[in-house]
Amino acid sequence: ALRGGATLDRGAMARLREQAATWRQRLGHPRPDPRTADEAGALLADAFPDRVARRRDAAGRFVLQSGRGATLPEHDPLAQSSWLVAIALDDAGRDARITLAAPLDDAAVEAILAAEATTTDEVTWDAAQRAVVARRVTRLGAIEVRSHALASPDPALVRDALLEAVRAEGLDLLPWSDTARGLRARLAFVHHHDAAWPDVADAALLASLDDWLGPHLAGVRRVADLSRVDLGGALLAILPWERRNALDRLAPERLQVPSGARIAIDYGDPEAPVLAVRLQEVFGLAATPRVMDGRVPVVMHLLSPAYRPVQVTRDLASFWKAGYFDVRKDLRGRYPKHRWPDDPLEAEPGMRRPR
C-alpha cells in the first residue's frame, strides 16, 4: 500500500507476507484486514507524527511539521497529494528527498488536526505593508493549515507588535517633529551635564520603549497612524513634574535678545549649544548668555542682516572689544543702509522682530 520513490524488493515483500500470515495464524486472525493506502497513511501518521507533510506551491514540494522542506519527483504518483506521511527521507540536500511515503485522506487529516493542531491569534508587523497584520492561524507544528484576518485584535498584542517594529527598524520609524527633536536634544544636553537626568540616546529609548512610548500607541496600527502620537509629550512624561520646570530653566528652548526677539537654541551638540542671531539684535548685550544655571556658555553665531555668518564666539565681551570693529568694516561696505555704531554696547538694538 506504500508508494514513493523507493524500489520494492519483491523477495522481501514475499517474506513479509509469509511472516504476516504466520502471526495472523498465531493470533487467531487467519484473514488479513483489507486496509487501504490512505488507512495505512493514518496509521503511519500515529507512528511518525513528525513526518506529516503538506504540499506547498507546486507538485512534489512539501513542508514537514518541523518546518523543513521535502520533495518528490513531479512524476511520482504522490506528488499531487495534499497531505502525506514521509516515512523515509534522504537528508542530503537543503530540502530532504522523500524516498517512501503514504497519502493521507481528508478524514485522516481532520483527525490529526483535531488532536494536534493549535489555533492562535498572531499579531505581527508587516514591513512591506508598513502596518500591523492580525490573523487567527491554525497550525500543525510549522505547517500553516488555515488562517483569517482579525478585524479587532487584542490592543495589547497590537501595541507589542508596534514596539517590536520600532526595536527592529530603529527610532527613525517614528515621525519626529521639529518640536519633538528639539525637546529630545534639550533632554540629551541636560543629561550630558547631569547624569541624574534621564538618558534619551537611541539605546536608552529603545530599551525603555514599553514605558515611554507604549502608553501612547492606542489606536495605532500602521506607520501613517503614528503621526497622531505626540512624541514630545511622550518624552516629557518621562520627567517628574518638578523636573519639567527645571528643564525650562536649565535648557530653555529660546533666549530673549536685546531686540526683543526670542531666538531658538540649537542643542544638537551637548558640549556647545548654539544661538544663531543677527549681530544688530544683540547690540547692548555685554556678555555671552549661559544655560545650565550659568555653567555652560552658548556658542554665538553672529549673522549679517541676510542671515549669513560673520563671527562665531563664546566670548561676546571680547568680541565687542576687538573683533567687532573688523567685522563692522566689512558689514558697512556690504550693508551701507544699516547702522553699524562705534559703541555697540550703547547702541539701540536693531532688526526688531515680532515675538
State pLDDT tens for residues 259-295: 999 999 999 999 999 999 999 999 999 999 999 999 9
Q: Which set of grid coordinates corresponds to residue 198?
A: 534621564
Q: Would you place residue 344 in the very low, low, confident or very high pLDDT band (cuts 50, 70, 90)?
A: very high
What are the DSSP calls for 125-165, one per residue?
Answer: EETTTTEEEEEEEEEETTEEEEEEE-SS--HHHHHHHHHHH
Mean pLDDT (whole number) for 313-321? 96
- pLDDT exceeds 60 at position 65: yes
pLDDT in tens, 4-59: 445 556 776 677 677 767 766 776 655 555 455 557 888 888 888 899 999 998 99
What helix, strand, coil percent values describe the chain, rounded to 5? 40, 25, 40
DSSP 274-317: EEEEEGGGGTT--S--EETTTTEEPEEEEE-TTS-EEEEES-HH
Q: Which amino acid is at 155?
A: P
Please report the pLDDT score of residue 22 as a whole number: 77
What gap in Å lies between CA 315 and CA 322, rounded to an integer?
11
Phi (first) and psi of residue 40, to 5 degrees = -60, -40
Q: pTM of the entire structure?
A: 0.74
pLDDT in tens, 287-297: 999 999 999 99
Q: How confident is the model at residue 81 (pLDDT cuts 50, 70, 90)?
A: very high
Lowest mean pLDDT among 35-39, 128-132, 218-222, 318-322: 35-39
Mean pLDDT of the 203-218 span: 96
Q: Which of 184, 187, 165 is nearest to 174 (CA)?
A: 165
pLDDT at 254: 97
Q: Strand, helix or coil at 255? A: strand
Residue 220 has pLDDT above 80, yes or no: yes
Q: Is the pLDDT of residue 354 over 80?
A: no
What local confidence, expressed as pLDDT, does residue 1 receive?
42
Least confident of 90-99, 191-200, 228-237, 294-303: 90-99
